[in-house]
Amino acid sequence: MALQDALDALSALLGERLSRSKPDLEAHGRSESHFAMTPPDAVAWPETTREVQEIVRLCARHGVPVVGWGAGTSLEGHALAARGGVSVDFTRMNRVLDVRPEDMDVTVQPGLTRRALEEELRATGLFFPVDPGADASIGGMAATRASGTTTVRYGSMRDNVLALEVVLADGRVIRTGSRARKSAAGYDLTALMLGSEGTLGLITELTLRLHGRPEAVAAGVAAFPGIGGAVDCVIETIQMGLPMARIEFVDAASAAAFNAYAGTDLPERPHLLVELHGSETAVAEQAELFGALVAEHGGDAFEWSTREEERRHLWRMRHNGYYAIMAAHPGARALVTDICVPISRLAEAVEQTQADIAASGMPGPILGHVGDGNFHATLIVRPDHAGDLDTAKGLAHRMAERALRLGGTVTGEHGVGMGKTGYMAEEHGEGWAVMGAIKAALDPQGILNPGKLVPGN
């Protein structure tokens, strides 16, 4: 049998670093989200590009699916082995290969997590900005074109990956991009790989742009009487061109969950959480301007601080937002939505979504990277309530349709995975067929992460 032959050969290659044990398979068959357990047939832990290449070659020879696995934090079942096969876990390829402060770039292996990278860079005065709420792997973040709280200022993975090494479906290894800051030398294969969710190749090395730590950083919180004022304040801040480093929205329900989880005492009302980067004077000037906008939109006094301790506390609280919400619903699963709309349509998108959630009776705190027009509702699905998943799916579906109606996208940052494939035709029209043609050209056997993203896959 083809699968057995492939696994025998992989065992010979990897020894104990190929596992078929039930716990390992189940650990790679589970996602953060509501999807059913979908275990692979085996899990491989390569340590070198060469080994990844061999794994892919062997799987290609036997027609066995290959699915990359970073930290498994993706929210649409991206890394689940929908058609079985081999889960390629990058945890052992987690080294920083080269930090070059003089060029403000760094080369890393894909299994490195963003927090580990942050640690490694601490002494350099440089930082890597993209920060999803989970401690995701850099390879997984590239594969999903992730973004985070600082994207409004520093961009997403699309803007912060300079070059990649990728193992293709036939085992060839390519290098895309270079360390030059820009290039017009042909098709942008780096951008094509970013967001391809392991369906076009496995990323084995990444060169990232770094940014200098700003001279001064201020962070603060403002509470608003209602969603409308908070969102309008964001819209005006962006339109005025205030260079916010972060501008995050959390609704009253999220604020309550934060209080319970992190011991904070936020009023249970909508908030904006912001951060400002620049010189001492620039930061003070921006804080004053932003404070005036908050007041204009009916918010409480904007309180801010440049004390590192307070800032850390604030962003730890925000990054733990999902875990705080889940902690308030022990045993529940979440369906996390993720739409992004043009900024002028943000207020109606958030308000209609909140009204819809309220009408459903389902808990669904809203938070998001509103400076980009992107927000999430975390819909709470109780394990023993048969109707919950359908209710949540209905709400998520109406959010997705709303995003498209308002000129936006069904996923601002989480990606397609198993959960959003059904919207691709509507969002992209014939463009989706073009994605399928590219997939067929680069992976004619369809062994890379099958069952996701492209038509008929």
Ligand X SMILES: Cc1cc2nc3c(=O)[nH]c(=O)nc-3n(C[C@H](O)[C@H](O)[C@H](O)COP(=O)(O)OP(=O)(O)OC[C@H]3O[C@@H](n4cnc5c(N)ncnc54)[C@H](O)[C@@H]3O)c2cc1C
Q: Identify residues 180-199 at the interface with a second copy (CB under 8 A).
A: 180-189, 191-192, 194-196
CB of 81 to a second copy, least distance (A): 20
- Which residues between 101 and 160 bind a second copy (CB under 8 A)? 101-105, 144-147, 151, 155-156, 158-159
Where along the sequence are the contacts to ligand X (CB under 6 A)? 32, 67-75, 78-79, 90, 110, 132-134, 136-137, 139-141, 143-144, 146-148, 197-198, 202-203, 322, 413-415, 449
CB of 244 to a second copy, least distance (A): 13
Helix, strand, or coil here: 368? strand
User: Which residue stretch of 30-38, 96-104, 106-114, 321-329 sits at the interface with a second copy (rule: CB under 8 A)?
Assistant: 96-104
Q: How far, rounded to the nearest angstrom, does the alpha carbon of residue 256 sit from its chain's CA centroid? A: 24
The entry of ligand X, a second copy, none near residue 18 (CB within 5 to 8 angstroms by kind) is none
Q: Measured at CB, which residue is nearest to ligand X?
A: 140
Strand order in the sheet with 161-167: 96-100, 105-108, 202-209, 161-167, 173-177
Candidates 193, 144, 125; CA nearest to 165 is 193
* Contact in structure between 7 and 42 (CB atoms under 8 Å): yes
CA atoms of 248 and 250, how far apart (whole Å)? 7
Candidates 272, 274, 415, 271; CA nearest to 337 is 415
CA atoms of 47 and 455, how far apart (whole Å)? 33
Asked if 451 is part of the footprint of a second copy (rule: CB under 8 A), the reply reads: no
| Burial tier of 264 (Cβ tally within 10 Å: 0-12, 13-18, 19+) | middle
CB burial readout 179-197, b (16+ within 10 A) else e: eeeeeeeeeebbbbbbbbb
The entry of ligand X, a second copy, none near residue 438 (CB within 5 to 8 angstroms by kind) is a second copy
User: Which residue stretch of 97-105, 249-257, 308-316, 326-334 sits at the interface with a second copy (rule: CB under 8 A)?
Assistant: 97-105
The entry of a second copy, ligand X, none near residue 453 (CB within 5 to 8 angstroms by kind) is a second copy
The entry of ligand X, a second copy, none near residue 440 (CB within 5 to 8 angstroms by kind) is a second copy
CB of 178 to a second copy, least distance (A): 5
- Which residues between 388 and 417 bind a second copy (CB under 8 A)? 403, 407-416
CB of 353 to a second copy, least distance (A): 15
Beta strands in 314-381 (DSSP E): 333-336, 339-340, 366-368, 374-381
Asked if 288 is part of the footprint of a second copy (rule: CB under 8 A), the reply reads: no
